[in-house]
Amino acid sequence: MSRDPVAFLSKEYAQLVQANLDWRIHTLNGPSEPWCHVDGKKVLMFCSNNYLGLSTHPRLRAAAVEAVQRYGAGSGSVRPIAGTMDVHVELEKRLARFKGAEASLVYQTGFAANAGLIPQLAGEGDLIVSDELNHGSIIDGVRLSKADKAVYRHADVDDLERVLNSAEAHTPAYQKILIITDGVFSMDGDVAPLDRIAKVGKDHGAMVYVDDAHGEGVLGEAGRGIVSHFHLSRNVVQVEMGTFSKAFGVVGGHVSGSRDLVNFALNKSRTWLLSGSHPPAVAAACLAAIDVLEQEPEHVRRLWENTRRFKKAMSDAGFNIGKSTTPITPIIVGESAKAKQLSDRLFELQVFALPIVFPMVAKDQARIRTIMNAAMTEDEVGFAIDAFIRAGKDLRIL
């Protein structure tokens, strides 16, 4: 009997569309700036991860151009063979100093860091304990491991301790226990209680791994991230993972910690070993971003000024913004269809902010996820506030 082996593709996509769970790809016609052009329409960007506006910062642009002229467009290989240039080495040295760590290792993406390193840190005979709302890249990294898995309730340190107490009674005894948490949770904007997690981890002899993709450039001294925010030592948070694709304004993932961690990671992570290294322009722009964070503190300051104003206005208007304490502010409306309607109305009002629906959030927690940008002026933040309130009233959300 003849059967179409790919018939399921169109069928499942049609089901996603019918349930309002499909992604509709929009095209940015130009740079990622506060006012930009999306699908040919001038709109205020309110959903970019470019927290500090560094993707168009003159120093990053100049560094990228200079690197192309000096090194060319690409590296020509993977890092362990012939793809490590001096600009890659310098970036890792500078990043380690910025993070206050012995060493750092740059991956091609943040996803590659999690997917490549987590399965190597814990395997058969070990246990990985993960927050229930951890990012998908963490989830996939955990799934790739042969270790036993356990999940604790979101940001609930008492429940984490319950899991660890149970693990200590396991027979045979686990060789290693790895606790993994996001630093800032990307859908809700809340911050992990990393200080308490680190203490519990130390008490139970567990390794602590934090994904600080949304905390870098936002939390801590000069945007150094959540480990700096809580004034924690490398003895209690052994792995700090992050990304250059958000507040740094470029692209790439990285881990920071001990020299032993980096030596282990670069020898064991297949995502690092088998992927082409960053074009030199990318590495140079990342270096320039670190310079900007260290030398221009006004970007982080403006980010928080804008954030506080927007959160207060949304809360005062009656929107449900959840429990966010960071520049990620969810506008929670419940139904997926309602979230898409709100996004469409905002786009008509010249604000670009996309809906987040199941499975990225629970089915009754659909939302518009907004992300503040330090490059926005007071007038631009006010424009967005007015648009949200008008759209909320138009759709009877308010």
Is residue 278 within 8 A of residue 249, CB to CB? The reply is no
3-state secondary structure at position 197: helix
| Residue 224: both structure tokens together | 């150094």
Q: Prior bond to 359 cis, omega within 30?
A: yes
Active site residues: 186, 214, 246
Largest CA distance in the chain: 69
Residues of 227-240 as b/e, b for ≥16 C-beta within 10 angstroms? bbbbebebebbbbb
Nearest to 18, CA basis, from 367, 357, 353, 391: 357
309: phi then psi, degrees, rounded to nearest 5: -65, -45
CA-to-CA separations, 209 to 117, 205, 238, 270, 346, in angstroms, rounded: 10, 13, 6, 19, 38
Beta strands (DSSP E) in 125-252 are 127-131, 148-152, 177-182, 207-211, 239-243
Cα distance between residue 349 and residue 150, in whole Å: 45
